[in-house]
Structures are given as C-alpha cells and as structure tokens.
C-alpha cells in the first residue's frame, strides 16, 4: 500500500516534509528558474543599456532595440512570479485529496512550464542575435548584457526540466482512481446467497466499489502510514 500515488504524489493527510520537498526534481528546477529569473531581470534592467559619452538617449546593447531590452527584462520578472506561484502550489499539492483537482493542477503546471520554456528559447536566440548585431563607435561594458543571455539559456533549461517532470506526473496519472478504497479492500466478508461455492457466501464482499477521496488518516488504526509515502516528483 506504500506505493499508492496519484499524479506523482502520495495520499493526502500527511505532515509537510520539508526535506523531501526540497529534493523533488520539480522543486529543484523551480528554484533554478527563480534564481535565473531574478538575475536575468536585474542584469538587463541594470546593464542592458549604455549611456553614450556624448549624452543623449540610452542605447540598448541588444542591437539598439529598446523592445529587446524591455522584453528580456519582462521575461525575467514574469518568470520569477510564475516560479514563486508554482512553488506554493508544489508545497500544497499533497494536501489536495481530490484526484480530479490534482489532474487540473498538473495540467496547469505542464502548460505554464512548457510555455515558459518555449518563450525562453525565443528570448535566448533573440538576445544573442541582437547583441551580436550591435555596432557602437565607443567602448561599452557588456558583461551584464552577456549575463542576461546566459541566464536566459539557464531559464530555458530550468523551465524545460520542470515541464518534463510535469509531463511525467501527468503520464503517471491517477493509477488508483479505479482502485477500491481501503475500507472496501480490507472489509470483512459479507454473506450472500448468490455467491460462494457452498451458497454460504463466506468471505465475499457484495458491496459495490465506490470512488473515495484520495486521503488517509495517519492514525494507529490506519492501514497506511502517510509519513512513509514516496514524495514523488
């Protein structure tokens, strides 16, 4: 019974295990995406622009395109916001008892992660090509602009990894959705005249299976100790 899981997590009802939570692949990728988004945001906002020595309007180091600087900075900001939101969802995921709700959360996670991965793929190549096309007649500091390109690539890998494990959770699905509840599986036999070789019906359960919430109470009488369930993705 310790292997009963739904969408990459064990049964609801156990205490939050911070150590196990921090070891989840999705959480690790989420933190990488969070840190990369912060650095990307700060690098482009602070170092993506060049102030000409002669004065005048600032020049975006990404091909003198102000839209490229604005887009890269915005991507860092939205990536940070999305990573924080999904980390909160990850922390509360195992408290969700309804399998259909878990499915919707996993689908949302997969969609958001995949979209960010695709957009960061576009962002990386856009920033790289724009930076290489820049032509300035005076020296400039491009270290932060280059850092923005690098962390756009890191963000691509982080969101791609998060999307992969979200897909793994979705594929795993609710394997227990059609399984009997604990009470039904371990219930004592109920006699019935229509069952049994000797018409005694001993040891036969005649109650129909019902869909039960995906929960377990960690008590002395519970057949499963939720503290020992695998934490999943």
Q: Residue ranges of the domains in the chain?
A: 18-172
Q: Nearest-CA neighbor of 29 among 149, 166, 121, 122?
A: 166
Q: Nearest-CA neighbor of 170 among 113, 215, 227?
A: 113
Least confident of 60-69, 120-129, 144-153, 154-163: 60-69
Stated as kind and residue range, the H or E segment containing 50 is strand 49-50
Residue 184 has pLDDT above 60, yes or no: no
pTM of the complete model beyond 0.75: no
Give 118-184 as a DSSP string: HHHHHHHHHHHHHHHT---SS----HHHHHHHHHHHHHHHHHHHHHHHHHHHHHH--TTTTSPPHHH
In 48-92, alpha helices (H): 66-92
pLDDT tens digit sequence for 186-199: 344 444 444 444 54
Number of continuous H segments (helices) and E segments (strands) in the chain: 6, 2
Average confidence (pLDDT) over 153-162: 97
| Phi, psi (deg, nearest 5) at residue 149 | -65, -45
| Phi, psi (deg, nearest 5) at residue 3 | -95, 5
**Displacement of CA 139 from its chain's centroid (Å):** 42
| Phi, psi (deg, nearest 5) at residue 215 | -135, 160
Helices 99-132 and 66-92, axial angle in degrees (round to 10): 160
Burial class (CB in 10 A: 0-12, 13-18, 19+), 130: buried
- At residue 140 the predicted structure's pLDDT band, cuts being 50, 70 and 90, is confident
SS3 state at 232: coil
pLDDT tens digit sequence for 56-90: 788 899 988 899 999 999 999 999 999 999 999 98
Residue 118 has pLDDT above 50, yes or no: yes
């Amino acid at each position: 019974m310790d292997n009963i899981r739904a969408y990459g997590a064990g049964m609801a009802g156990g205490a939050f295990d911070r150590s196990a939570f921090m070891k989840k692949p999705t959480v690790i990728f989420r933190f990488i995406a969070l840190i990369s988004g912060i650095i990307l945001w700060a690098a482009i906002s602070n170092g993506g622009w060049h102030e000409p020595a002669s004065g005048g309007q600032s020049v975006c180091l990404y091909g003198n395109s102000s839209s490229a600087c604005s887009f890269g900075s915005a991507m860092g900001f939205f990536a940070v916001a999305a990573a924080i939101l999904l980390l909160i969802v990850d922390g509360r995921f195992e408290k969700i008892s309804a399998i259909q709700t878990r499915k919707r959360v996993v689908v949302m996670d997969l969609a958001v992660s995949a979209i960010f991965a695709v957009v960061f793929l576009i962002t990386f190549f856009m920033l790289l090509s724009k930076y290489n096309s820049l032509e300035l007649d005076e020296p400039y500091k491009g270290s932060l602009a280059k850092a923005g390109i690098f962390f756009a690539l890191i963000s691509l890998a982080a969101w791609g990894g998060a999307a992969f494990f979200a897909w793994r959770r979705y594929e795993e699905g609710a394997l227990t959705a059609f399984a009997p509840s604990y009470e039904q599986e371990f219930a004592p036999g109920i006699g019935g005249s229509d069952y049994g070789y000797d018409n005694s019906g001993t040891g036969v359960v005649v109650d129909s299976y019902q869909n039960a919430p995906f929960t377990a109470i960690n008590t002395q009488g519970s057949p499963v100790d939720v503290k020992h369930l695998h934490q999943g993705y």
